[in-house]
Chains A and B, each alone.
Chain A
Amino acid sequence: MDALNGLFYGFSVAFEFHNLLLMFAGCLLGTLVGVLPGIGPVGAISILLPLTFQLPTAGAIIMLAGIYNGAMYGGSTTSILINVPGETASVMTCLDGYAMARKGQAGAALGIAVFGSFIAGTVGLIGLQLIAGPLSTLALKFGPPEYFAIILLGFTFIVYLAQRSMNKAVLMALTGITLSLIGLDPITSQQRLTFGNINLFEGLGVAPVAIGLFGLAEVLGNLEKTASAKILNVKIKNMFPDKSQWLQAKWAIVRGTVIGFFLGILPGGGPVLSTFISYGVEKRVSKHPEQFGQGAIEGVAAPESANNAAASTSFIPLMTLGIPPNVVLAVLFGAFLIHGITPGPMMMTQHPEIFWGVLASMYLGNVILLILNLPLIPLWVQILRIPDKILYPLIILFCLVGAYSINNSVFDIGVMVLFGIIGYLLKKFDFEAAPLILGFVLGPMFEVNLRRSLLMSQGSFGIFVERPIAIVALIICVILITLPIYQAIRNKYIVKR
């Protein structure tokens, strides 16, 4: 099926009444999650995952994709109105968005964020539609050595692009891989690290671990805070940016889209990183960099466009290679598996209704989100006024029932609570949880492909050098590992001189 026919087929799936309803529900819930500070898209998808168990697979994934995209749209509202990002990808929007709101331009800031998101999200989807087919065909030729090298490259990128200490990111990724080893050996079926506990034979579930790390941990962290954010008391008007504002923001939207497009595909990149880079680029190319942080409209348009483009294109490695490039997609990968679908190159041919259905629903979702976000802003502002003392216990309740309902197991609640406490402590000690969950999700694939490669080559590591894709991936790994070491030595040398 070519891209155009596939898309038409996808629209026929997406336009089915129940799928439309699920997409709308996903977009609505996602925007709500994005608007509410304290719980991001990872926690939201994990917590709401059980709601999709009774749904048909295509509908379930459509709803979860809607939540993801909705959170990307909704995150800007809190950034602009209360200077608190609804989720990490909206951190940069706070800088100029809040400043614009204080100057009485909240409407324009919210408007440009929504329009920028719409344009970038749609461009990202076009990219997904065009690239997915050829990449899936190429991926069919991949064997264990290629997969091992690509996953290793993913880990290297995750560590290289870590927002804090690289050493800590490596440790977190390794801890994640270690946790993924719990259960039966995928090749010999021997028990590993199970302590004879029957609940651990199938390993730890992605959802309880993710709900704990990104849902409960967030609430535990917020519970101890002494002050809550104040909503700016401004009248929201003129949501449609005027001509001069469009002229100011147009190149920021273009650049943000391009940056987000490529960083979304990159393992370890994704929406969060793209916002930081696009903001930095925008400030650097601007003729008036001193206005950044004081309410420059480009400072809102660029990161908001970047995070939505990245949110769309991050589906490319997941749907074509079966490799989740970031933490949200790692949880979504778990959701696919729970619904009996293995994302990867065969998905397009074996489950076209899901592949094209999800893609088409994301196009429609973008339009729905544009409609939801512009006229409903006053409603989202009211939701922001829900006191924390009501919100936090309810989030914990959803975490508990969400973790339980995956396998109807109290043990999973225990896992969730344990990882909630671990996640809370990780934050305290300045460790990032994202490399851990990615290591946890990619760990089994990493191990199986390494062991299969070694079995194929009878123990020769030459197998990784003989394959062009594997060798290219490994060379990039070596460059990424040696680059920071070289820079550190160079900096030391400069300081000494």
Chain B
Amino acid sequence: MISSMILFLLAAFVLITSLGLGIGSVSNPQSGFMPFWISLLMLAFSLILFVTAYRNSSSRVRLADLWHKLHWQKSALAAAFLAAYIFFLPWAGYLIATSVLMIVLFRLTSMKTWTAALGAMLAVFFSYGLFSFILKTPLPRGIWGF
């Protein structure tokens, strides 16, 4: 039911935006033409999904059951650190930001701290060498210039 509501809201947003873009006519479709019809279909199908889920309430899975007996904290932490990485990367540069991230990720997979640090260094330097020197990809340098 939650997923159908999210999709319904997304469709409603696209529908409103498409009206602002201008739908045009069938003989002269404008920029909002496709978003309008696609979002209308999405609204209809998300409503069907909502009604189906509501009517089958007995077979409905509780939200908590989806994460039951799982180390969901690990996935949540990994996602949170990845989000933080995006913000710090332009500021800290590839070498520092990625090293910190890799240590955290290795620790999340239950690796000991010093092994995680060593693994992170190796992974970062290998990837830096591969992409920066061999594939000539200019990786972010950060405020310190590396």
Contacts and interface: CB of A to CB of B under 8 A. Distances in A.
A51 interface: yes
A452 to B, nearest CB: 10
A405 B137 CA distance: 6
B136 interface: yes
Nearest to B26: A459
Contacts of A429: 2-3, 66
A413 interface: yes
A170 B28 contact: no
Contact of A413 (B28, B74, B86): B86
A389 B42 CA distance: 40
Contact of B7 (A175, A388, A424): A175
Contact of B71 (A50, A225, A451): A225
A102 interface: no
A389 B106 contact: yes
Interface size class for chain B? 35 or more
Interface string B125-146: 0010001000111111000000
Nearest to B135: A54
B31 A190 contact: yes
A285 B14 CA distance: 50
A424 to B, nearest CB: 7
B17 to A, nearest CB: 6
Interface in B91-146: 98, 101-102, 105-106, 108-111, 119, 123-124, 127, 131, 135-140
A51 B26 contact: no
Contacts of A12: none
B31 A396 contact: no
B75 A171 contact: no
Nearest to A453: B29
Contacts of A420: 79, 82
Interface string A150-178: 00000000000000000110110011011
Interface of A: 50-51, 53-54, 167-168, 170-171, 174-175, 177-178, 181, 185, 187-188, 190, 192-193, 216, 219-221, 223-226, 388-390, 392-394, 396-398, 400-401, 404-405, 408, 410, 413-414, 417, 420-421, 424, 428-429, 431, 447, 450-451, 454-455, 458-459, 461
Given A394-B123, A414-B86, A459-B25, 13 more contacts: A174-B11, A181-B38, A190-B21, A192-B21, A219-B78, A224-B70, A225-B70, A390-B106, A393-B106, A397-B124, A413-B86, A429-B2, A459-B26
12 contacts: A174-B45, A223-B108, A224-B67, A224-B71, A224-B73, A224-B74, A224-B75, A393-B106, A397-B98, A401-B127, A428-B67, A459-B28
